[in-house]
Amino acid sequence: MNFNIEMYHITAYTKAKAKEIGVEVKPSTHKGKKIDVFKNGKKIDSIGAIGYKDYPTYNATEGKTIADERRRLYHLRHTQNTQGEKLAKKLLW
């Protein structure tokens, strides 16, 4: 696992997904997280662990075929359906 301490760059993919579901995304102020998610100006969660890739990152660095497979595997692993998990699936995967 690569713990990158740099700030995560929010992708156009994530910004578009946020607009679709009616939330706003900003770089996270929570150590170890990528994105803070806001609804009606109120922070509702911090999502995405720094150091792990997400769908747009895989797509940009390894191509759509690998990104699609990583997305499929992500969805198989993450089944708790917590608020944070649902947001991560919608915004990062």
Side-chain half-sphere exposure of 19, counting CA atoms within 13 A = 6
Q: Is 75:83 a contact under the CB 8 Å cutoff?
A: no
- pLDDT value, residue 1: 42
What letter does residue 8 receive in the DSSP assignment?
P
- pLDDT value, residue 13: 97
- pLDDT value, residue 63: 98
- pLDDT tens digits for 4-50? 446 789 999 999 999 999 999 999 999 999 999 999 999 999 999 99
The domains of the chain are located at 12-92
Q: How far is CA 17 from the centre of its chain?
A: 10
Q: Is 87:36 a contact under the CB 8 Å cutoff?
A: no
Residues 50-78, mean pLDDT to the nearest whole number:
96
